[in-house]
Each structure stands twice: as structure tokens, then as C-alpha cells.
Structure 1
Amino acid sequence: MKFDLHTHHDRCGHAEGKIRDYIEAALANGLSIIGISDHSPFLASEENQLNPAIAMAKSELPEYVAEVLRLKEQYRGKIEVLLGIESDFFPEHAELYKRVYAEYPFDYRIGSVHVSSGKHIFDKTRWDKVDEEQLKTEAEIYLGLIQASAQSGMFEILGHIDAIKGFCPAIAGHLSPLMEQTLQVIAASGVSIEVNTSGKFKPSGGWHPSLDILERAAYYGVSVTFGSDSHVPERVGDEWEDVREALKKLGFKEWTFYRERKRQSIPL
């Protein structure tokens, strides 16, 4: 059963295509399940759309949900369409996000840390002239947020848990000593992590998380799911079979998806 839980569309301002385009691409690529998980609005902002190039407007959220639900019905019997969302994690606004998400019938919510130390993790300029001590500190802050997001009760899935290395490969060495504890926290929380295949488009390369982290995740019994993080329809399901084979070699026996926020297991 082939699936992909991490896809975007043009509402977020940096993806191409409509939701229907991603569903059609999933059908063409032989998927049984497609999850739509566009970027949540910045709910704590006084502005309707704080950053049009990053996330949808607050006023778009109800229509986003309604559109996915309409398409779920239209494609019933052809492919299962799941309603998801990719949410930033801001500890200071966690209760607000919980209240808003409770209003909608999400099948799953992906928690992704995109902002740490007040800056976006994919802001290339933040890494200019940083020394090793600063990288160590940033790694600690970032993984602290990953741990807090796992423990928040807000999410079923954690997105790209080592993505801070995307435009700063040098920070990877500082993530490693802290990742062991982070995986233990994730395992205890019961949330899943995704294998995100979009890392190849960044200087760090590879998947998020990397194979060494996935190996330790298997050791601690962390459940895993799959997400292409596609921002163009052509990438739906990208490298699904490669990820499946890699997980089997690492000792995983199954992977998961979520329906009505309940974990469903699929043998590898």
C-alpha cells in the first residue's frame, strides 16, 4: 500500500499546483493514500497572512479544510484522501494552535520546527560567520524544540527532525550527541517521525532524518511514516520504494499513516 502524507499546494505561496493536481499525481503514481498537509497559517499573528511566501492566510484555513473534504468524497473508491496540516511549533502559542486545530477533522497534524532563535532554519544568512560554539548552542535550542513538540500533544507526526542542517551541513555534528535523548523523548511520546525525501534539494543532501538517525530510531522503537514534502505534483511519492527498502534494512517491520488521528500500521 503506497502512500505519501506530506504534500503542499499553491495556497502556501511557495508550491505549484492545486490540491487536485496532487491527488491526480498520486493516482498516476500508484498510490493508495494521499495526504494533503499544507502549511498552517501563523495563527498568533494579527495579520491575516503574515508571510504570503511561507504559509496560507488565516482566512484560508476553513476553505482549505472544506476543499480537502470535498475532494475526499469525490475521489472515494479511487484513492483515499487524508486531511492533514503541517504546523509550525511555537511553544508560547501552543494553546492557541490546539484550540484552532480542534475545530477541524484533521486525520493528522505534522509538527515541524521551522523557526528557532527567532530565525527561519532555511534562512541561509543566519549561518554566516557562526563559530562552532554557536552551532552547538543552535543545535541544542533546535532539538529542545523538537522534544517539546513531541511532548506537546499537538501532533501525530514530527516533520523533518534534522532539517536545520539543510543549509548548514556543519551543524549535523552538533546534532548527533543530542539526538539520542531526542529519539527517546519521541519514543516515549508515541508520535511518529517522517522520512522526508526533500533534503536532496538542499546543500546537506539526503533524507530527513539521515540514515544514522533512522537506525537509532529503530532501536528505540520510534514509528515512522513517509512524506515527499512535494511542492510540485511530479514529486508525489518520490523515492517511496527506496525509503521502504532502507527501512527494512535498518530493522523496521512496519510504517504508519493516520486516519482520524488514529495510527494505522502497514507492513514493510
Structure 2
Amino acid sequence: MKFDLHTHNERCGHAIGTIEDYVVSAIRKGLHVIGISDHSPYFAEEADHHFPQIAMAKSMFAAYVEEVLRLKAKYAGQIEVLLGVESDYFPESAHLYQEVYDRYPFDYLIGSIHHVEGVSIFNKKRWGKLDERRKIEVKEAYYDLIEQSARSGMFDILGHIDAMKAFYPAFSDIPTGRVDQTLQVIAETGVAIEINTSGKTKAVGGWYPSDDILERACRYGVSVTFGSDAHDPDRVADEWELVRDRLKDIGFREWVYVSGRKPHRVPL
């Protein structure tokens, strides 16, 4: 069973290709399941298109859902197309996001943290003037948000849980026990984490999360899934086999894909 649950498309403003391009690529690569999970709009913002190069506009959202459902029907029998979304998690407006998502027949929701203390996690300039104490505080604030998103009950999958290292690899070495605490909470809630291969396209040059986090996740009983985080149809299922083999080496015996808001366990 070959699947990829994290893909984007041209609607978000920083990916290329139509949704159908990703479906066709998945078929060509022999996938059984392809999840479409573009960046959700910023529903709590007044503007319709708050960040045009980061996420789709609010006015695009219904059409996005309709297009995925149309492709689900069109390609039935060739591949299972799943309706997903990658959603930011803002505790103060989580209820608004949940109200919107409840209107649609999502197969799964990916919860991802992209902002900490009002700054993008990918902004490497944030680290330049911070002393060691503040670096620890920022890292712990990041994992606090991940922990809250796990507890929220909104999500089936948590996206790229150490992506703050993308353009600041030293992030991984900032000492804190909060990562283990967060992994234990994730295990308790039953939410899956993804192995996301898009880190190879960033300065850090590796997957999210790192092997040491995956080893601890395995020990705590965290469920895992796969997402290429493709922003180009050619990256669909990128390094799927390598991830499968690495997970086996670490000690995992299964991973999951999610449809109809229910996890389906697949032997590795």
C-alpha cells in the first residue's frame, strides 16, 4: 500500500501544478492513495487573501474542496484521492477554523505550526540576537503549540514537527525536554506524525522529523504516516521507499494513512 498524504498545488501561491497534475503523477508512480492537502486560508483574518504567496484565499476554499471531490470521483478505480488540508493552528481562533472544516467531508486534517510568537518558523533571522535562554524559550513555545494542536482534537496528522530547523539546523541541538513531553502527549492523543521528505529541499537537507525524534516517537508508541509535502508534481512520493526502510530499521512495524477521519494501519 503506497500513499502520500501531503501535497500542495498552485492554489497556495508557492507551488506549481494543478491538483489533477498531482493525481496523475501519483498514478504514474504506482500509488494506491494520494492525499490533497493544500494550505488552508487564514480564516481569522479580515482580508480574503491575507498571504497570497503562502495560502489560498478564503473565497477559493469551497472551489478547492469541490475540485478534489470531482477528481476523487473521476479517478475512482485508478487511485483513491483523499480530501485533506494543511491547517495552521492558532489557539485563539481554532474554533473558527473548526467551524469551517465541519462544513466539508474531509478525509483528514494536517495540523502544522508555521508561526511562533508571531514570526515564521522559517525566518532564520529570528535567531541572530537571541541568547541561549531565549532560544530554549522559543523552541519550547514551538513545541507547546504542537502539543496544544495534538490535544485540540482538530487534527488527524501533525505536520513536520521539527521544521523550525529548516533554515537553522542548530535548532535541533537547543536543549529542552519539551520534545519528549510533546511526543508523549501525541502518543496519548493518538494523532499521527508525518515523516516529511521536503526538508531535503531546505538548508537542513534532511527529513522532518530527525531520526533521533523518530526513535523516541517509536519508543512512546506514536503513530506515523508519510507526506512528501510536494510543491511540484514530480516530488509526489519522493523517497517513500527510503522512509519505509528507515522506519523498519528504527523499529516501527506499521504506519497509517487516514481516510474518512479514521486511521488505516498498514504493515511496513
The 1-side partners of 2:173 and 2:265 are apart by 33
Kept in 2, the 8 Å contact 1:49–1:57? The answer is yes
TM-score (norm 1): 0.98
Displacement of 1:123 in angstroms is 1.8
Give how far 1:129 is off: 2.6
- Note if contact 2:140-2:176 (Cα within 8 Å) is conserved in structure 1: no
TM superposition shift of 1:146 = 0.5
Aligned CA distance change for structure 1 residues 120 and 255 (closer, same or farther; 3 Å): same
> What percentage of residue pairs aligned between the two structures are identical?
60
Q: Offset at 1:130?
A: 2.4
Q: Go from structure 1 to structure 2 and tell me whether the alpha carbon gap of 1:175 and 1:204 turns closer, same or farther (over 3 Å shift).
A: farther
Match of 1:41 in 2: 41
Aligned-pair CA distance for 1:125: 2.4
- 1:149 and 2:149 equivalent? yes
> Are the counterparts in 2 of residues 136 and 171 from structure 1 also a CA contact under 8 Å?
no
For the residues of structure 2 that align with 1:149 and 1:93, how far apart are their CA atoms? 12
Question: Once the two structures are superposed, what CA deviation does each residue of 1:101-152 show, in whole Å capped at 9, x if it has no partner?
Answer: 0001000000000000101111232223322222111001000000000000
The equivalent of 1:263 in structure 2 is: 263
How many residue pairs get aligned? The number is 268
The residue type equivalent to 1:9 in the other structure is N
Name the residue aligned to 1:67. Answer: 67
Amino acid corresponding to residue 147 of structure 1 in structure 2? E
Q: Which runs of 5+ in 1 are unaligned?
A: none
Q: Which residue of 2 aligns with 1:95?
A: 95
Map of 1:190 onto structure 2? 190
Q: Structure 1: which amino acid aligns with 2:4?
A: D
Counterpart CA distance in 2 for 1:106 and 1:169 is: 34
Q: Which amino acid in structure 2 is aligned with residue 163 of structure 1?
A: A
The offset of 1:47, in angstroms, is: 0.4
Partner of 1:27: 27
Q: How far apart are residue 177 of structure 1 and its match?
A: 2.6
Which blocks of at least 5 consecutive residues in structure 2 are unaligned? Answer: none
Q: Distance in 2 between matches of 1:64 and 1:152?
A: 25
Counterpart-to-counterpart distance in 2, 1:106 and 1:191: 16
Paired residue secondary structure (1:198): helix
* Partner SS for 2:50: coil
Quote the residue 2:223 is aligned against.
223
**2:266 alignment partner, SS class:** strand
Could you say which residue in structure 2 is the equivalent of 1:168? 168
Rounded Cα–Cα distance in structure 1 between residues aligned with 2:14 and 2:7: 12
Secondary structure of the structure 2 residue equivalent to 1:41: coil
AA of the residue aligned to 1:197:
T
The RMSD of aligned alpha carbons is: 0.9
Q: Which residue of 1 aligns with 2:56?
A: 56
Deviation at 1:175, TM superposition (A): 5.7
1:16 aligns with 2:16: yes
2:6–2:35 contact (8 Å) kept in structure 1 = yes
1:171 Cα shift? 1.7
The DSSP-based 3-state class of the residue aligned with 1:62 is helix
Contact 1:41–1:56 (Cα < 8 Å) also in 2: yes
1:104 counterpart residue number: 104
